Structure 1
Amino acid sequence: MALDWAAGLKKANDVYPPIVLLYAGAKSGKTSLAGEFPDPFYVRTGEGERPPAGVEMMSFGVSESYADIVDQMDWMLSEEHDRKTFVLDAADGLEIHIRDEACSRNGWKDIEEPGFGKGYAAESAIWREFIAKALKLKLAGYYVVIISHVKAKTVPGVTTESYPRYMPNLRDEAVGIIVDASDLIGFLHQRVSIVKEEAGFKKTNKRGASGGDIVIAVQERPGFIAGNRYDIPEAVLPFKRGEGFSAIAKYLPAELWEAAGAD
Structure 2
Amino acid sequence: MGYQITSGVVPKPQKVLLYGPEGIGKSSLAARFPSPLFIDTEGGSAHLDVRRLPSPSSWSMLLDEVAWVRDFPAECGGTLVVDTADWAESLCQEHVCARAGKSGIEDFGYGKGYVYVKEEFGKLLNLLSECCERGLNVCVTAHAQIVKFEQPDEMGAYDRWELKLARKHTAPMLKEWADAVLFLNYRSIVVKDENGKCKAQNGKDRVMYTTHAATWDAKNRWGLPDELPLDWSYIAPHVPVPSFSAAASVTQAEIEAARDMPVPFDGADVAMEGGDNRGVGEPYAEEPVPPRAPEHLRKLAGMLAEAGIGRQEFVVAVARRTGYVTEGTPFESIAPDLAAWAETVVPQIKQYIDAGMPAEGK
Q: 178-187 vs 100-109, which deviates more?
A: 100-109
Letter in 2 for 1:230: W
Residue 163 of structure 2 corresponds to 168
* Correspondence for 1:235 among 221, 226, 249: 226
| TM-score, structure 1 normalization | 0.83
| C-alpha distance in 1 between matches for 2:23 and 2:103 | 35
Deviation by residue 1:137-185 (Cα, 9 ceiling, x = unmatched): 1111111111111111111234452111101111111110000000111
C-alpha root-mean-square deviation of aligned residues, in Å?
2.5
Letter in 2 for 1:147: T
For the 8 Å contact 1:15–1:255, the answer to whether it is kept is no
How many equivalent pairs are there? 245
| C-alpha distance in 1 between matches for 2:17 and 2:110 | 30
Per the TM alignment, residue 255 of structure 1 is displaced from its structure 2 partner at its CA by 9.1
Residue 27 of structure 1 corresponds to 23
Per the TM alignment, residue 209 of structure 1 is displaced from its structure 2 partner at its CA by 4.0
Letter in 1 for 2:227: V
Residue 3 of structure 1 corresponds to none
Considering fraction of residues, name the structure with more strand. Answer: 1
Which runs of 5 or more structure 1 residues have no equivalent in the other structure? 1-5
Which runs of 5 or more structure 2 residues have no equivalent in the other structure? 244-317, 325-337, 339-362
CA gap 1:133/1:123 in 2 versus in 1, 3 angstroms: same
1:142 aligns with 2:124: no
For the 8 Å contact 2:21–2:185, the answer to whether it is kept is yes
| Bigger radius of gyration | 2
| C-alpha distance in 1 between matches for 2:90 and 2:242 | 37
For the 8 Å contact 1:230–1:252, the answer to whether it is kept is no
| C-alpha distance in 2 between matches for 1:51 and 1:7 | 54
Q: The residue matched to 1:146 in structure 2 has which SS?
A: strand
Q: The residue matched to 1:191 in structure 2 has which SS?
A: strand
Residue 69 of structure 1 corresponds to 62
Q: 106-115 vs 24-33, which deviates more?
A: 106-115
Q: 126-135 vs 102-111, which deviates more?
A: 102-111
Per the TM alignment, residue 8 of structure 1 is displaced from its structure 2 partner at its CA by 3.8
| C-alpha distance in 1 between matches for 2:205 and 2:212 | 20
Q: The residue matched to 2:217 in structure 1 has which SS?
A: coil
Letter in 2 for 1:167: E
Q: Which protein has greater RCO, CA pairs closer than 8 Å, 6+ apart?
A: 1
Deviation by residue 1:58-100 (Cα, 9 ceiling, x = unmatched): 1123210111111111221223515211111111110111111
Q: The residue matched to 1:192 in structure 2 has which SS?
A: strand
For the 8 Å contact 1:183–1:228, the answer to whether it is kept is yes
For the 8 Å contact 1:31–1:51, the answer to whether it is kept is no
CA gap 1:91/1:206 in 2 versus in 1, 3 angstroms: same
For the 8 Å contact 2:77–2:242, the answer to whether it is kept is no
